[in-house]
Amino acid sequence: LRFKAPQEGQTVIDDLIKGRVVFENNLLDDLIILRSNGYPTYNFSVVVDDALMGITHVVRGDDHLTNTPRQIPIFHALGYAVPRFGHLSMIMGSDKARLSKRHGATSILAYKEMGYLPEAMINYLVRLGWSFGDQEIFSVPELIEKFTFDQVQKSAAVFNPDKLLWVNAHYIRQGEPKRVAELLQPFLVQAGLGDEARAMPAGWMERLVIALRERSQTLVEMAQAAVPYLQQDMPIEDEAAEKFLTPAIAPTLGHLSERLAALPEFTKPGQEAAFKEVMETAGLKMGQLAQPVRVALTGRAASPGIFEVIDLLGRERTLARLRRGIERAKAARP
């Protein structure tokens, strides 16, 4: 079954984004609307679907622009109100070719699995082809308030993974720690640390997020950075140990361990006083002491501030890992 297309005149689309678009009716063919197997075709089905759902605005990629002059006569023939149409230019890769799998992930779910926050994806995708001055970061209420079609660019937008990563890092840093901790949970489960995370006392996960968020661009990175604080038997990286856990530092680490163990209350002021006393005795600066301690406590040469690390580990694990670090330093080659 075919729909008899008009043969005279023009079909004019007042496109919300591209402006006035004109199609000559004599170039349209008689569109098949029902196949021989009884199934309706896309262009017929979508008209009925939109009409029955009361759709007033159809916003889609401009690869559908040529479908519009086929659909509008069907709206008229069935007595349906014609919605407003807006056709967005396609998203391009860095090579200006249409975005595809060869440019990386193209599925929203794939980005979720890569540790991107929903609000970061919304922010970035709306800004991709739309602007409001120089503002880059928008909350959803702001987008609802400020978005207008006349600010959507007609030309194709280029997908920039680095910019998306920057936006995501912003939302991780600025997000409510409790919510980020909840979003982080599935990634900790994937890392085999779900039980350890659930066993932590109330508020601990929020403190972990606050400690790690400045160095984490995705939730995957944050989960990887969380390993030293959740994994019980945390190995020490050989390269970090060779550089910082030397026999010469072992006595100083031993002195620090004694001072920390002697604290009646394991609080930051007491910890800072212990570090200061040990540094003065050994003639070291903070970095010279903190770095070996960091390697002993986390197994890595990079971490949040040393007192944040101690706060997350607590007294028992801090002292146990210091003792392990001291033994590693004593056993190292001079």
Please give the positions annotated as active site.
Answer: 101
Single-letter residue type at 2: R
DSSP 214: G
Q: What's at 185, amino acid-wise?
A: Q
d(CA 331, CA 227): 25
- What dihedral angle (degrees, nearest 10) is formed by the CA atoms of 67, 73, 79, 80? 20
- Reading the block at residue 108, the tokens are 């929203």
Query: What is the C-alpha to C-alpha distance for residues 182 and 187, in angstroms, rounded to an integer?
Result: 10
Q: Which amino acid is at 187?
A: F
Within 8 A by CB and 6+ apart from 201, the residues are none
Give the closest residue to 171 by CA, choosing from 205, 137, 147, 146.
137
* Rounded Cα–Cα distance for residues 195 and 265 (Å): 28
